[in-house]
Structure 1
Amino acid sequence: MPQTVYVLNGPNLNLLGLREPEIYGHATLADVERLCAETAARFGLVADCRQSNREGELIDFIHDAHASKAVGIILNAGGYSHTSVALHDALVAVRIPTVEVHVSNIHARESFRHHSFTAKAAFASLCGFGIDGYRLAISGLAAKIGASAQA
């Protein structure tokens, strides 16, 4: 049975492709989910992609990942990265290897985006690679958990 990686996207990521394309590009959330599914499959993993604009629902997704024995989480918490101690605490509680992803380079943007609570609960954080950051995150997670690329 394939192992599952949860790919969690937070507020406004459902608007990828429409929202500020000069910052986030033209790729859509469907493009992200397709990229994640393809990348995960290369490592014999399954990507369970979810999106919510609500903090509590994202926390529930993290709890679901634990309950379903997911091997990892890829998290783009969007603006909640910079504000949510609750998301940080949920990640710490479940102890699932997590990679934080941001489509844009948060360190080259407004100062309030420079701090991430969720990054402190992740073993790695990627930003500024566009949606390719998700591919890099899954590849890095696969290496962390010992999943090898399938032939």
Structure 2
Amino acid sequence: MTSENIKIARCIQNDIESISHPFKQMADSCGLTEKNFIIIIKKLYHEGYIRKFGAVLRHQEAGYKNNSLVIWSVAEVQIEKAGKIFSLFPFVSHCYERKPAFQGKYNLFTMLHSKDANIPVLANKMAVSAKIHDFIILETLEEYKKTSPEYF
């Protein structure tokens, strides 16, 4: 990697401000145009230097006070269909299959977030929609510090 690429990597591994043109601000700090900055990020991604570029929502700070992991017992042949149904709900942030299944049967995990709605009510809506009724709601009691890795 070039020194310019390392400078860009350092810039994008930090939090991105919630402003109208965050990449322009970062590009300016690297002495680049916004367009060239984005081109280089795409190049680094396609070359395999960057594997993932995503946002982390700090849901507690955003006002989502009701947060629970809901685990589902789903027949193997229904996993993909149930996952697609669950992922359509706007209050679901994560939906993934877990192997091996927790306690031998809970194999589909969903994370639900709500500012004011009752999580059991939301989980029941999901259950009815997917016709899956064996689930456990695991309420978030405490959130621990989340940090992203720094490479440069």
TM-score (norm 2): 0.24
Scaled by the length of structure 1, the TM-score of the pair is 0.24
Q: Which has the higher helix share?
A: 1
Tell which structure's C-alpha radius of gyration is larger.
2
